[in-house]
């Protein structure tokens, strides 16, 4: 159902469907995740979105998008294991639902091209006032993220667990480096992205006949092919468990656990691990939810997530400070229970059904369709959703126990209130 075309400097993936009233275009730029470039790359996603020569301010650009029937335009930055991805996305109403044809596809595609080739410049760099404004915006966004204790404690887990490794590099940059970046450096970095980033473009919607020609005409990048690594298996240089307890003036404590798992997106055991995670803590039917929340009433949320690109697993829960050790041991017990092979076929069947249902649902949302396709494209895994479901279904009890045995707690990060005492 997906058609792929090799274009000038990018791969175009067309996913035709007429079930949506909008069309979504997503351009993804991939480059290695590096300590040296994480901040400049993040700042670039902010500056890129600020203005173009035709629409030289936030105000003018926003007004243009309003005119295009509220077309969205956004940039996001995220990591995929060892890769650092910039995502430029636009979505706009299909002409069929508008009073008159607006040619929004051409207009929005041209706008994306202009973000890269016709930004507002001065003195061989981005316009100084824009860069200043966006530096402030990024700085404040990072601060606000820190104030959200859930995401702060998760970031801290990655920081401690991944010290001096890829996992420890924050995908949204370092706050203290923002001000050092000059407009000229930023513009040079854009040129580097245009030259060296590996690019994929995804389109979901009601795709007209002459579609590829429109792309050929409007969107071009230099033709280089790069194969950057993404998924990897996290390995810790430490042998011992690292336990970090931080105190702040807060009501609810946040427990975050990081595990080594010896498996990633490209491993043969990926399918078995996916099923393991669904049994262990991936859903509200999973063991952690049933035991820690339903049986012991210790929390409102508790779950495990399999990070298939960093080859590791996270468990997090919001609990009372006094329940720290109790919660830890309940989580540990569930893991050792599965490792000991205490599993039944019904539980496995249920987990597989939940995974299948979750996967099928991605077909009803353009963004998730693209995310799924992209994961496969950057890891070169040629697999349809049907094949993937088939592989999940074939996972056996023994294979689940096998992957569970490789799970090892690596780091505990506990954010708690000022009154917490070690002796609990």
Partner 1 sequence: MKAIKYPTLKETLYFEEMPNGLKVYLLPKAGFSKTYGLFSTRFGSIDTTFVPLHEEKMLKVPDGIAHFLEHKMFEMQDGDASEAFAKLGASTNAFTSSSRTAYLFSTTSHEKECISLLLDFVQDIYLTDENVEKEKGIINQEIGMYDDDPDWRCYFGSIQNLYQNHPVKIDIAGTVETVASINKATLEKCYHTFYHPSNMMLFVVGNIDAHETMNLIRENQQQKHFSLENPIQRAIVDEPLDVDQKEAILHMDVTMPKMIVSMKINDILTKPQERLKRELAMNLLLDIFFAKSSTLYDEWLNEELINDSFSAQFIQERDYCFLQIGGDTLYPERLKEKIFYFIEHIQEYDIHQNDFLRLKKKTMGILISLFNSPESIANMFSRYYFEGIMIFDLIDCLDSLTIEDLISLRKLFDLQYTSSYTILPQNE
Q: Name the site residues for partner 1 (rule: CB under 8 A).
A: 17-22, 57-60, 62-63, 65-71, 91-93, 97, 133, 136-137, 140-141, 143-144, 146-150, 248-252, 283-285, 293-294, 297-301, 318-320, 350, 353-354, 356-358, 360-361, 363-366
State the nearest-atom distance from the C-beta of 406 to partner 1, in Å: 27
CB nearer partner 1, residue 244 or residue 250: 250
Name the residue among 413, 239, 417 with its Cα closest to residue 328.
413
CB nearer partner 1, residue 20 or residue 117: 20
CA 79/CA 229 separation, integer angstroms: 12
Q: HSE of 66 in the Cβ direction (CA atoms, 13 Å)?
A: 7
Q: For strand 10-16 and strand 198-205, is the pairing parallel, antiparallel, or unpaired?
A: parallel
State the nearest-atom distance from the C-beta of 140 to partner 1, in Å: 5
**DSSP code for 283:** S
CB nearer partner 1, residue 44 or residue 366: 366
State the nearest-atom distance from the C-beta of 98 to partner 1, in Å: 8
State the nearest-atom distance from the C-beta of 11 to partner 1, in Å: 25
Phi, psi at 130, each rounded to 5°: -65, -45
* 65-69 CB contacts, 8 Å cutoff, 24+ apart: 68/92, 68/102, 68/104, 68/107, 68/108, 69/93, 69/98, 69/102, 69/104
CB nearer partner 1, residue 97 or residue 227: 97
Angstrom distances, CA of residue 67 to CA of 92, 93, 102, 113, 206: 11, 12, 10, 19, 21
CB nearer partner 1, residue 58 or residue 165: 58
State the nearest-atom distance from the C-beta of 163 to partner 1, in Å: 23
- Whether 92 and 42 have beta carbons less than 8 Å apart is answered as no
CB nearer partner 1, residue 153 or residue 230: 153
State the nearest-atom distance from the C-beta of 19 to partner 1, in Å: 4
């Amino acid at each position: 159902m997906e058609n792929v075309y090799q274009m000038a400097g990018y791969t175009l993936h067309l996913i035709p469907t007429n079930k949506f009233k909008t069309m979504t275009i997503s351009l993804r730029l991939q480059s290695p995740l590096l300590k040296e470039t994480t901040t400049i790359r993040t700042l670039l996603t902010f500056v890129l979105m600020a203005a173009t020569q035709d629409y030289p301010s936030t105000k003018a650009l926003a007004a243009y998008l309003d005119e295009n029937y509220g077309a969205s335009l956004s940039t996001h930055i995220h990591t995929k294991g060892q890769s650092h991805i910039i995502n430029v996305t636009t979505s706009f109403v299909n002409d069929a639902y508008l009073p008159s044809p607006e040619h929004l596809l051409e207009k929005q595609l041209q706008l994306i091209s202009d973000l890269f080739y016709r930004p507002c410049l001065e003195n061989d760099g981005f316009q100084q006032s824009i860069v200043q404004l966006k530096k402030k915006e990024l700085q404040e966004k990072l601060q606000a993220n820190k104030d959200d204790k859930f995401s702060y404690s998760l970031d801290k887990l990655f920081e401690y667990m991944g010290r001096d490794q890829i996992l420890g590099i924050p995908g949204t940059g370092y706050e203290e480096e923002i001000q050092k970046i000059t407009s000229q450096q930023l513009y040079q970095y854009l040129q580097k992205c245009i030259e060296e980033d590996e690019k994929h473009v995804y389109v979901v919607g009601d795709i007209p006949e002459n579609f590829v020609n429109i792309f050929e005409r409007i969107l071009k990048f230099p033709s280089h092919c790069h194969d950057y690594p993404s998924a990897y298996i996290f390995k810790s240089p430490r042998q011992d468990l690292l336990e970090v307890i931080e105190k702040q003036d807060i009501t609810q404590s946040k427990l975050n656990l990081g595990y080594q798992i010896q498996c990633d997106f490209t491993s043969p055991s990926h399918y078995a691990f996916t099923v393991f995670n669904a049994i262990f803590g991936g859903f509200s039917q999973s063991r952690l939810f049933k035991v820690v929340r339903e049986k012991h009433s210790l929390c409102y949320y508790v779950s495990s997530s399999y990070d298939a690109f960093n080859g590791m697993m996270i468990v997090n829960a919001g609990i009372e400070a006094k329940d720290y050790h109790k919660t830890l041991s309940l989580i540990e017990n569930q893991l050792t229970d599965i490792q000991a092979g205490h599993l039944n076929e019904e539980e496995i069947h249920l987990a597989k059904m939940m995974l299948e249902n979750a996967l099928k649902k991605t077909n009803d949302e353009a963004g998730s369709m693209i995310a799924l396709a992209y994961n496969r494209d950057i890891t070169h895994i040629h697999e349809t959703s049907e094949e993937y479901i088939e592989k999940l279904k074939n996972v056996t009890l023994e294979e689940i126990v096998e992957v569970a045995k490789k799970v090892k707690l690596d780091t505990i990060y506990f954010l708690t209130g000022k009154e917490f005492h070690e002796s609990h």
